[in-house]
Amino acid sequence: MRILLCHVTLIAALTIASPAMAQLELPAPSPAAKLTQRVGLTDVTVDYSSPGVKGRTVWGELVPWGTIWRTGANAATKITFSKDVTVGDKPVPAGTYAIVTLPTQKGWTFILSKATDLWSAGKAYDPKDDVARVEAKTTAIPHRERMTFIVSDAADTGASLDLEWEKLRISVPIGTHTAKQALANIDKELGGAWRPHLAAARYMMDTAKDLPKALEYAEKSIAIQATWFNNWVKADILHRQGKKADARKFAQVAWDLGNKDPSFFFKSDVEKALKDWK
């Protein structure tokens, strides 16, 4: 009876302790790591697991020569580019890719694969999934215990993506299209710069009843970019000032521009004005 009670007590103790044991947190052999670096206008993010040297011979043994390497531990290492880039001399669209490398004693090959689920559920590397395949530069470095990714020499035009582990650095250049992207952003913002002046013109015309000031803002809007809308507002202001000939001239400009714009929502008003302001 006492033996049975001891067994029951032991089972109960283990049952009580098991939730606490399930929550036991210990250092991972290859902890998760993440690098994010903005290069010009492009965000470069690397998600990986970081193995340690732990006194082992890494190159040629732990990582064999002449064999595809997942370039990290656990799941495939992934890199994400927020915008189109070049890797080496290869164009790479914005997106997420697996980083795969082929180390040899003569040199390294750096590969980006669109198969981001490599090594999960036994999925093996297949060259048909390659997006870019470039030669990498290797450099001797002081000992680094844990494998680490670094973005170095970052500038608006590009950077170097470096992998450092043990006493070796593997580097590939990443190029960005920052100047082209910045120009597109400028064009996008300045393309709408006429709108605030037009809004001011309409306010001064309809609410403040200050026609000279309204005309000043309308002309500033047109000077930035002539549209059917700001030409129509200028025509309306001029008509209210009694300048019918000038008003009709700008109404005609508004009509000509508006008929090329699917958003010509004052079309009937402009058409009526051209008939009435003769």
Same domain, 145 and 111: yes
Same domain, 119 and 201: no
Same domain, 221 and 160: no
Same domain, 158 and 206: no
Of 256 and 15, more confident: 256
> Has this prediction a pTM greater than 0.85?
no
Q: Which of 176, 210, 226 is the last residue of a domain?
A: 176
Same domain, 38 and 160: yes
- Give residue 187's pLDDT band: very low, low, confident or very high (50, 70, 90): confident
Q: Give which of 77, 28, 75 is closest to 52, Cα–Cα.
A: 28
The string of pLDDT tens digits covering residues 90-109 is 999 999 999 999 999 999 99
Q: Which of 149, 176, 203 is the last residue of a domain?
A: 176
Same domain, 215 and 158: no
The string of pLDDT tens digits covering residues 74-89 is 999 999 999 999 999 9
In the chain, which ranges are E strands? 32-39, 42-49, 78-81, 85-87, 90-92, 95-104, 107-113, 130-155, 158-176
Q: Is the pLDDT of residue 193 over 70?
A: yes
Mean pLDDT over the full length of the chain: 91
Same domain, 117 and 215: no
Count of structural domains within the chain: 2
Percent of the chain with pLDDT over 70: 92
Q: What is the pLDDT of residue 264?
A: 97
Q: What is the pLDDT of residue 186?
A: 84
CB-based contacts of 97: which residues, under 8 Å, 6+ apart? 78, 79, 80, 112, 113, 114, 116, 131
The string of pLDDT tens digits covering residues 124-135 is 999 999 999 999
The string of pLDDT tens digits covering residues 26-39 is 988 899 999 999 99
CATH for 215: 1.25.40
Same domain, 254 and 172: no
Of 224 and 191, more confident: 224
Same domain, 46 and 167: yes
Q: Which domain holds residue 212?
A: 192-276
Same domain, 196 and 156: no
Q: What is the pLDDT of residue 3?
A: 46
